[in-house]
Amino acid sequence: MPAKDKKKPKPAKEPDITFFHPDLLEIPADGTAPYLKGYKCKSCGMLDFPKQNICQKCWGEDFEVVSLSRRGTLYSVTDIFIGQAGMETPYIFGYVDLPEDIRIFCQLEGEIGSFTCDQDVELTVGTIRMNREGLPIKSYKFKAVDVEAGI
Ligand SMILES: [Zn+2]
């Protein structure tokens, strides 16, 4: 028997299903599309993201969770080549403007250098970094709108 066959196979790593931003991202159990959670003030109706403790407009403390648009426009984008610990470079950060007049700071999923300002992007769920065991932590990201899919 060759030496390499004596080694026990390493157990396959299970994906980390702990989401980094549970207050911000909803992935419905029924398989429908994930969405970002907006927080709508019950007193004045102001919509905010991410979650705030008090309304920025009226200081109200009660919020209704609403689903935000899955599509937006890329306001700004930066390719990152020297990253933080646990983050495999290169990666892409950007700001996405949603129709609700909310600007989302997020990672973008796609090729380095492939994004341009004002392009249409849509919500997706992907790996944003690795945890200490080297397993992926998933959260919201945005990607280029898949034109060919005709969505
Ligand atoms: Zn308010």
Q: Which residues of the chain have pLDDT under 70?
A: 1-20, 147-151
Ligand 1 geometric centre to CA of 140 (Å): 26
Do 107 and 76 meet the contact criterion of CB atoms below 8 Å apart?
Answer: no
Helix (H, G, I), strand (E, B) or coil at 36: strand
The neighbourhood of ligand 1, an ion, using CB within 5 A, equals: 41, 43-44, 46, 55, 57-58, 60
Ligand 1 geometric centre to CA of 75 (Å): 26
Amino acid at site 124: T
Ligand 1 geometric centre to CA of 54 (Å): 8
Q: Which two tokens stand for residue 127?
A: 């790996």
